[in-house]
């Protein structure tokens, strides 16, 4: 495998993210020992996994002389938030194309990432309906930027191409080193699987390093077959970019589509249970779109005996907690606030 130093890269991740044991959660579930790889603690406004991808995407942009970033994501996109935040660090323009699931879903007054786009000062927001419209809208924005004398660089949805996925190949090497240092023999990795770049990058990095550690992606937007096709295709492209000669076996791609629920970013009771359980047992905030559903899948697989007592499972926490504040009403109904009283003990 090529040295990662051979690729253009910005160094935003200056130290490994913690590999944190979750003993109380493990005891509550009565299954394997759970460890949480805290990529929610990565640098960048609000943290999260996209920073790893953006090290390589923005590195490539700057190597090509870009002064403007254009990217796309959902209306509450962690990727758009982090692209915008690192654009501010680098002094670049940043334009966002946001995908509405249904007409009128975008609310400029909404909290979560929508508010952070405003606070971070996005240079423009363009709202489109449907993922198929993202690329044409980005190209149109690029033409407009070039007409103003700018040099734009386009980053795909989620930063999920071979350039961005290289960031999670780097994470795979980081994790392997941590496991060796801690003398941990891990049986399985679990990761949220959305735009495919995180899972594909992990698979490519593990394969390139000669590791056979299995990875299960828990899908957040679609069923098993289309997600596995996307992950495998991108993993092959990433393996090729890394200069790994032997192709990744198709059977190494496992994407579980049982926990998507009614659709992307739509809450499920199982997700809400998982978010509350992890918050109250380990003091760790998951998000309702990615890690909440992925942890719901992990919990269910433990309860079904797929992950068993005596095993060790690493859950990759990809961040995204700003989205919790978009669903506060639903969480408050599920987890009512404790009764408040004044200093004399009288209820307020």
Element at 191 (helix H, strand E): strand 188-193
> Alpha-carbon distance 245 to 173, whole Å?
18
343 flagged as catalytic:
no
Cα distance from N-terminal residue to C-terminal residue, the chain:
63
Closest CA to 322 of 127, 122, 119, 54: 119
Strand partners, 219: 193
* Measured distance CA(161)–CA(147) in Å, rounded: 27
- Helix, strand, or coil (residue 300): helix
- Please state at what angle helix 78-90 crosses helix 50-63, rounded to 10 degrees: 40
Token pair, residue 101, equals 């699931």
Q: Pick the catalytic residue from 26, 72, 77, 230.
A: 77
DSSP states of 204-227 as a string? HHHHHTT----EEEEESSS-HHHH
The answer to whether residues 45 and 78 touch, using CB atoms and an 8 Å cutoff, is no
What's the farthest any 2 CA atoms get from each other in the chain?
Answer: 72
Q: What number of CA atoms fall less than 13 Å from residue 17's CA on the CB side?
A: 27
How far apart are the C-alpha atoms of 150 and 148, rounded to whole Å? Answer: 6
Q: How many helices, marked H, and strands, marked E, lie in the chain?
A: 11, 10
Which residue intervals of the chain are DSSP H helices?
23-29, 50-63, 78-90, 112-120, 134-147, 162-181, 197-208, 224-241, 269-282, 291-303, 328-334
- With b for 16 or more beta-carbon neighbours within 10 A and e for fewer, the 60-76 pattern comes to bbbeeebbbbbbbbbbb
**CB–CB of 205/230 below 8 Å?**
no
Catalytic residues, by residue number, are: 77
């Amino acid at each position: 495998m090529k040295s990662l130093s051979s690729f253009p890269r910005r160094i935003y991740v200056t130290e490994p993210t913690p590999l944190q044991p979750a003993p109380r959660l493990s005891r509550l579930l009565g299954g394997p020992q759970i460890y949480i790889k805290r990529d929610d603690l990565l640098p960048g406004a609000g943290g999260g996994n996209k920073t790893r991808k953006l090290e390589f995407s923005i590195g490539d942009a700057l190597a090509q002389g870009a002064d403007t970033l254009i990217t796309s994501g959902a209306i509450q996109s962690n990727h758009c938030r982090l692209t915008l935040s690192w654009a501010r660090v680098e002094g670049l323009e940043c334009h966002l194309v946001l995908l509405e699931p249904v007409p009128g879903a975008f609310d400029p007054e909404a909290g979560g990432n929508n508010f952070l786009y405003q606070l971070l000062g996005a240079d423009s927001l363009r709202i489109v309906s449907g993922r198929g419209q993202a690329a044409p809208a980005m190209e149109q924005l690029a033409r407009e930027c070039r007409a103003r004398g700018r040099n734009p660089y386009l980053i795909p949805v989620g930063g999920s191409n071979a350039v961005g996925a290289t960031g999670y190949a780097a994470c795979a090497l980081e994790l392997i080193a941590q496991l060796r240092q801690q003398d941990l023999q891990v049986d399985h990795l679990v990761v949220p699987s959305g735009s495919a770049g995180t899972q594909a990058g992990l698979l490519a990095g593990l394969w390139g390093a000669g590791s056979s550690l299995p990875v299960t992606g828990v899908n957040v937007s679609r069923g098993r077959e289309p997600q596995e096709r996307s992950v495998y295709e991108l993993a092959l492209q990433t393996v090729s970019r890394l200069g790994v000669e032997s192709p990744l076996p198709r059977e190494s791609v496992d994407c579980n589509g049982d926990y998507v629920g009614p659709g992307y970013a739509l809450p499920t009771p199982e997700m809400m249970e998982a978010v509350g359980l992890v918050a109250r047992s380990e003091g760790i905030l998951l998000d309702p779109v990615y890690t909440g559903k992925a942890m719901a899948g992990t919990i269910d697989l433990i309860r079904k005996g797929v992950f068993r007592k005596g095993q060790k499972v690493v859950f990759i926490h990809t961040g995204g907690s700003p989205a919790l504040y978009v669903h506060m009403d639903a969480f408050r109904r599920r987890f009512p606030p404790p009764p408040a009283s004044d200093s004399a003990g009288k209820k307020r």
